[in-house]
Structure 1
Amino acid sequence: MNTVNIGSITVGGKNPIALMAGPCVIEGAERTLKIGKAIKEITDRLGIPYIFKASFDKANRSSYSSFRGPGLTEGLEILRQIKEELGVPVVSDIHCSTQIEPAANVLDVLQIPAFLCRQTDLVYQAASTGKVVNVKKGQFLAPNDMKNVIAKIREAGNENILLTERGASFGYNNLVTDMRSLPIMRSFGYPIVFDGTHSVQLPGGAGTTSSGQREFVPYLTRAAVATGIDVLFMEVHDNPAEALSDGPNMLYIDQLEDLLKDVQALDNVVRKHK
């Protein structure tokens, strides 16, 4: 099992589980920082390594009129400020090759969205930066298909690889998570991330937007941690009802600490078996 360094955090192997979390999209500097601070206070109390996540651009929205975020330049500047103020690594999505160089100057992890996981040029060029690359498994892929994604990243000479499970399409407007996917992908030799909030998303389920079932986040999260994942990914918000993206599947911040206590307890049990 390769371990991967994300700033001062090491994930993989028998290292404790880390948290990658934040709002779905940057909703302005002040509110985004407020959410990040609240999460960091929780992770500091529990001793959980923390990586901040928020998207500077949500390019794969259901509707043309949906909020996408502040964009590349302003969004990266906000992420830079959060990185410096909180003293944590940061991750955000990239959607095209022109975003890679400026994003790599700020981000500790370049994240490839699920719908783009087979885009060879995007994956290869992101890997060529030498940054950690987190690839979300497409809703249309089997776990074994991710071997091909790994090969593209390794072809660029990069071993800093994370693979994320975020559910598979089940009929229309629904996702299911096959927990077998997690140990299968971990057997490829790289740390595995479980996306506990997008896994309960109902894509396009609200017509012009996606819906979700956040009440199932704790159940899927605990099940995934029990398989021996290395990083937990969650989108959280102080008030998901007001969120400008993915509100129905985001977790309330005030529910996060109790869930993370369960996560730690389970991780302590399974880590010796990793």
Structure 2
Amino acid sequence: MHQVQVGPITIGGKNPIALIAGPCVIEDAERTLAIGRAVKQIADRLGIPYIFKASFDKANRSSFKSFRGPGLHEGLAILANIKQALGVPVLSDIHCTTQVTAAAKVLDILQIPAFLCRQTDLVYGAAQTGRVINVKKGQFLAPRDMKNVVDKIREAGNENILLTERGFSFGYNNLVVDMRALPIMRSLGYPVVFDATHSVQLPGGAGTSSGGQREFVAHLARAATAAGIDALFMEVHDNPEEALSDGPNMLYIDQLEDLLKDVLAIDAVVRRHK
């Protein structure tokens, strides 16, 4: 099992589970920083390694009129400030090869969105930066298909790979999680992440936006931890009802600490068997 170093955080092997969390998209600089600070305080109390995430551009939206974020340059400036202010690594997604160079100057982890996981130029270009690459498994892929994605990254000479499960398409506007996918992807030799909030998304389920089933986030997070993940990915917000993207599947920050206590307890048991 390869271990991945993200700043001071080591992910994989028998290392404790890490947390990747933040709002879906950068709404404004102050609120985004406040959410990150609130999550970091929880993570510090529990002793869980923390990586901040937020998207500078949500290119994959249900509607042309949906909010996308501040864009590449302003968004990266906000993420750079959060990185410095909180002293944590940062993650965001990239959508085209023209974003790679600028993003790699700020981000500790370059994330490949699920719908783009087979885009060879994007995956290979991101890998060439040497940054940690987190690839979300497409909703249309079997877990073993991720070996081809891993091989593209390795072809660029990069072994800093994270693989993220976020559910399979199951009929119209629905995702399901096959927990077998987690050990299958981990058998490829790289740390596996579980995206607990996008896995309860109902893509396009609200017509011009996606719906979600927030009430199942905790259930899936605990189950995935028991299946042996290396990091937990969650989108959180102080008030998801006001969120400009993915509100129905984001977790309230005030529900986060109790869930993470369960996750840490389960992880402590599972690590003995990794």
Give the TM-score taking structure 1 as reference length. 1.00
Helix, strand or coil: the match of 1:257?
Answer: helix
CA distance in 2, matches of 1:2, 1:97: 26
Q: How does 1:108-257 map to 2 (within 5 A)?
A: 108-257=108-257
Q: CA deviation at 1:8?
A: 0.7
Unpaired runs of 5+ residues, structure 1, are: none
Q: CA deviation at 1:215?
A: 0.1
Q: CA deviation at 1:142?
A: 0.1
CA RMSD of aligned residues (A): 0.2
Q: CA deviation at 1:45?
A: 0.1
CA distance in 2, matches of 1:22, 1:192: 19
Helix, strand or coil: the match of 1:10?
Answer: strand
Helix, strand or coil: the match of 2:62?
Answer: coil
CA distance in 1, matches of 2:15, 2:224: 16
The residue aligned with 2:272 is: 272
Q: CA deviation at 1:272?
A: 0.9
Q: How does 1:61-76 map to 2 (within 5 A)?
A: 61-76=61-76
CA distance in 1, matches of 2:241, 2:7: 33
CA distance in 2, matches of 1:122, 1:272: 37
The Cα offsets for residues 94-126 of structure 1, whole Å up to 9 and x where unpaired, read as 000000000000000000000000000000000
CA distance in 1, matches of 2:204, 2:239: 21
CA distance in 2, matches of 1:258, 1:45: 12
Moved over 6 A (4+): none
Give the TM-score taking structure 2 as reference length. 1.00
CA distance in 2, matches of 1:115, 1:36: 26
Helix, strand or coil: the match of 2:106?
Answer: coil
CA distance in 2, matches of 1:11, 1:24: 22
CA distance in 2, matches of 1:57, 1:109: 15
Q: CA deviation at 1:49?
A: 0.1
Partner amino acid, structure 1, of 2:172: Y
CA distance in 1, matches of 2:120, 2:146: 12
Q: How many correspondences in the alignment?
A: 274
Q: How does 1:52-91 map to 2 (within 5 A)?
A: 52-91=52-91
CA distance in 2, matches of 1:161, 1:75: 24
CA distance in 2, matches of 1:63, 1:228: 36
Partner amino acid, structure 1, of 2:138: G
Helix, strand or coil: the match of 2:14?
Answer: coil
